[in-house]
Amino acid sequence: MADIDAATRDLQAALDPDRVLIDPLALRLYARDASLVEGSCSIIAFPRSAEDIQACVRIAAEYGLPVVPRGSGTGLAGAATPIGDALVVVTAKMSDILEVRPADRLAWVEPGLPNLDLANHLRPMGWTYAPDPSSQQTSSIGGNVNTNAGGPHCLAYGVTSAHVLAADVVVPDGSTVRVGSEGPEAPGYDLRGVVVGSEGTLGIVTRVCVRILPAPPSVRTMLLDFATVQDCADTVTDIIGRGVVPAAVEMMDQGIVRAAENFAHAGYPTEAAAILIVEVDGLPGKVAAEAREVEEAAHAHDVGTVRVAKDEAERALIWKGRKSAFGAIAQIAPHYHLHDCVVPRTKLTEVLGGVYAIAERHGLIVTNVFHAGDGNLHPLFSFDRSVPGTLERVLAASDELVRLCLDAGGSLSGEHGIGLEKRDFMPLVFTEDDLNAQACVRSAFDPDGMMNPQKVLPDGARCGDFAIARAGTDVAAEAATSLPEGSWI
Amino acid sequence: MLHPRTPDDIVEIVRDASAAGSPLLAVGGRSHIDRGNPSPVDAELWTTQLDGVVAYEPAEMLVVVQAGMRCGDLAATLGEHGQEWPVDAPEHATVGGVIAAGVSSYRRLRVGHVRDTVVEMEVVTGDGRIVKSGARTVKNVTGYDVHRLMTGSLGTLGVITQLALKVRPLPRASRWLHADGGLELASRLLAAVPQAGAIVATPESVTIVAEGWPEEVSELAATASRVAPVDEIAPGSSFPDLQAPTIAEVAVPPSALGAVLDGATSWQAPLGTGIAWVGTDNDMLEELRERASAAGGIAPAIRGSGGLGGTPVPAVEVQRRLKAAFDPFNVLAPGRGWGRI
């Protein structure tokens, strides 16, 4: 039984009393992220520096407390949901932009910085940070790193991993390591590549070096509406088939268009079965050529209207509708469960049909937003949790939804991560050897399993060779003699 | 020399090697064989019989191939559908070799790094387990990206058997332009046309590769010509194309390139990336490495016997644990990797 009181005193001494919370309300508030699961924790700490973070990790290790890093708590898979007597380390107070270096195409930022704040800071300088998850007003760069966040503009520009050059990380032994490099290559294995998307299980990021890009000189945003979902999806396939990779291709079905329009008043066509927001950017010649291809594709599939944003204000309004969709859903019902599936792009219509069928079977309302360009589907179930039996129906429908996507050749998560919510589905996509290998990656950073335990990998995933080595069998002795000089064994 | 035909053949070979403690090197086209530290082995495992396309759906912009497939063959297959895997490696290089070596294309400014094209990978670990990571979708956050560790690992963590790669549309138009000048002119051109496919500087010339839609390429060329007089030239095959016993690949923050290259007379640098290929010899290599290191970067040899250099590896305990986990008997190219881990 961990000595919470002693741990609290040590943390208060190391950080300062105002930045260590143990009151019941705080423990309740920080017991969950934006997913459906509620957990528990024993202490919440708000570091202001890398040294503070090191102290948190050191003290947690000393008292045997699991550590759960948390940015803005907008995660949807439960990666920041603490369990048991965890110490929650909240980076929200570390939100500075440390330096911007256009000559090196990089910027160093603190992990708690909201994504949109970075973009807004760069814009007047003529630069941009490409990953733009819908949560960007609130979600933190550190959180984005840990979920390898996507967003509409990742279609052409790539996900967060392509935009993180380096990070300083406090690892479970309390030391700070730099993964990656300010330069284009780092020596050794690509630790940066596994830290990005590791959902807070390998360490706590203290600062991030992000890639910045010159803002595109020209952009065109189009809103296309269709009488059938099939026409809409076929248009996306046609666009790709013409060799156009737009900066963004977002699809919204009628239910969510109506909710979004009610809130944002962006002039969305509420009678359409589905709409597409397509954005192309780059040099004016590229934009003109690509916009032409997009319009041709749309007309080839019976588009209703092609609306082109005439200025930045109209562009912002069109995006406002899309980016506020998940909030606007509150008009339909008080609670929602947002899903994240990726399927082959060409299977979108078929899978969407399956989604509607699942919802109907379980008596649930479902609306859909998709990053149509990369087959990343976000079905939203809307419901009232207080009605008995509802949550069970939502969870049953969710289970069927995951299987539907996997059967269509998709993956478990496009951008929200595995967290707690999808952990037990992992054996559906990975073998025991696959999962044990992943456990080896994890235990290379965290041999004692103190960082965000019980997330991502299901129980039973074990780094087999480490288990053998620790058991001290003959195999281990043999292994020990043939390991390179200076190995840890 | 061992020539497996299937992943199971590879499993058997690797298991035997581990049981015997007999070091092994996986090779493909040998195009990047000079990379890495010296690593004497008892046998070479040739992946070149695993050379087919497993699945290809142009509409998905994904192709799944066996690791021994030659880059030239892949380019031909993808080219029929107006697509490419943008690596610019020699034709006889294998896909697995390019990934294991973590090769940088001279078009990196526009197309990014090869590591971001790998979405799924199957490998055989040093103790003969088949491990898959990633998924056949263009976006995926499902567990730990073991394939990212394998990329650039020079065959020291596993033998790559199969990969799913993101591909992109071939540019509709491409023009190569030449201007007289060096790093300073190239920097001004980069500032004027950051959308170029590549801006490759040498001590006396700059090559601009303008790719994209015809209208876009015309705009790029016109803008470039306002910075300096440019001539159109025939497209070259690739960079680097230096004649030197040793070529080092400098990798530093882009603004440091000038200082690192100071005094070097034979180099080609794709601007905006921080990469420069420097023709040198083993005597000068150490000095070049010191300058790269002072700038926070590295300069491993990609041709010749210069090895990787002595830059300390960050998080060395983590790196050692990974090596021990994936190659417990240390038979996969022992000592070839950074820090000789």
Chain A residues near residue B275 by CB distance under 8 angstroms: 184-185
pLDDT at A487: 29
The answer to the question of residue B21 being in a domain is yes
Give the residue from A322, A357, A374 where a domain finishes: A322
Best residue of A99, A101, A169, A185 to probe chain B, by most B CBs closer than 10 Å: A185
Burial B29-54 (b: 16+ CB within 10 A, else e): bebbebbbbebebebebbbbebbeee
The answer to the question of residue A414 being in a domain is no
Chain B residues near residue A214 by CB distance under 8 angstroms: 194
The answer to the question of residue B281 being in a domain is no
pLDDT at A480: 39
**A79: which 2 tokens?**
């990666």
Indicate the range of A311-315, A462-466, B31-35 predicted with least confidence: A462-466
Over residues B76-103, the pLDDT tens digits come to 999 999 999 999 999 999 999 999 999 9
Best residue of B22, B124, B133, B139 to probe chain A, by most A CBs closer than 10 Å: B139
- Looking at the structure of chain A, the number of domains it has is 5
pLDDT at A1: 72
- For residues B103 and B186, membership in a common domain is answered with no
Query: Cβ of B324 and A197 within 8 Å?
Result: no
Confidence of residue A476 (pLDDT cuts 50, 70, 90): very low
Q: Which of A183, A444, A478 sits opposite B322 (nearest CB)?
A: A444
Give the residue from A290, A322, A354 where a domain finishes: A322
Mean pLDDT of B137-162: 97
- For residues B71 and B143, membership in a common domain is answered with yes
- For residues B178 and B161, membership in a common domain is answered with no
Query: Helix or strand or coil: residue B299?
Result: coil
pLDDT at B237: 82
pLDDT at B62: 96
Average pLDDT, chain A: 92
Q: Which of B144, B328, B330 sits opposite A465 (nearest CB)?
A: B328
The answer to the question of residue A415 being in a domain is no
Q: Which of A214, A285, A442 sits opposite B218 (nearest CB)?
A: A285
Q: Which of B172, B296, B320 sits opposite A488 (nearest CB)?
A: B320
- For residues B126 and B227, membership in a common domain is answered with no
Over residues B172-215, the pLDDT tens digits come to 999 999 999 999 999 999 999 999 999 999 999 999 999 999 99
What is the distance between the alpha carbons of residues A413 and A339, in angstroms, rounded to a whole number?
9
CATH code: domain of residue A121: 3.30.465.10
- pTM of the prediction? 0.95
pLDDT at B297: 98
**Structural domain range at position B146:** 7-169
CATH code: domain of residue B48: 3.30.465.10
Q: Is the pLDDT of residue A2 over 90?
A: no
- For residues B219 and B104, membership in a common domain is answered with no
Q: Is the pLDDT of residue B294 over 50?
A: yes
- For residues B20 and B155, membership in a common domain is answered with yes
Over residues A377-427, the pLDDT tens digits come to 999 999 998 999 999 999 999 999 999 999 999 999 999 999 999 999 999
Rg of the Cα trace of chain A? 23
- For residues B70 and B186, membership in a common domain is answered with no
Q: Which of B141, B329, B335 sits opposite A147 (nearest CB)?
A: B141
Q: Which residue of A has its CA nearest to B334?
A: A484
Q: Is the pLDDT of residue B143 over 60?
A: yes
Q: Which residue of A has its CA nearest to B322?
A: A444
Q: Is the pLDDT of residue B133 over 80?
A: yes
Give the residue from A35, A59, A90 where a domain finishes: A90
Stronger pLDDT, A341 or A105, i.e. the higher one? A105
Are B25 and B35 within 8 A, CB to CB?
no
Q: Which residue of B has its CA nearest to A417?
A: B141
Count of alpha carbons within 13 Å of A236, Cβ hemisphere only? 34
- For residues B24 and B74, membership in a common domain is answered with yes
Query: Cβ of B133 and A438 within 8 Å?
Result: yes
Mean pLDDT of B152-162: 98
**Structural domain range at position A45:** 4-90
The answer to the question of residue B250 being in a domain is no
pLDDT at A464: 72
Indicate the range of A84-98, A315-329, B5-19 predicted with least confidence: A315-329
**A159: which 2 tokens?**
């996900």
- Looking at the structure of chain B, the number of domains it has is 2
Mean pLDDT of A229-244: 94
Q: Is the pLDDT of residue A486 over 50?
A: no
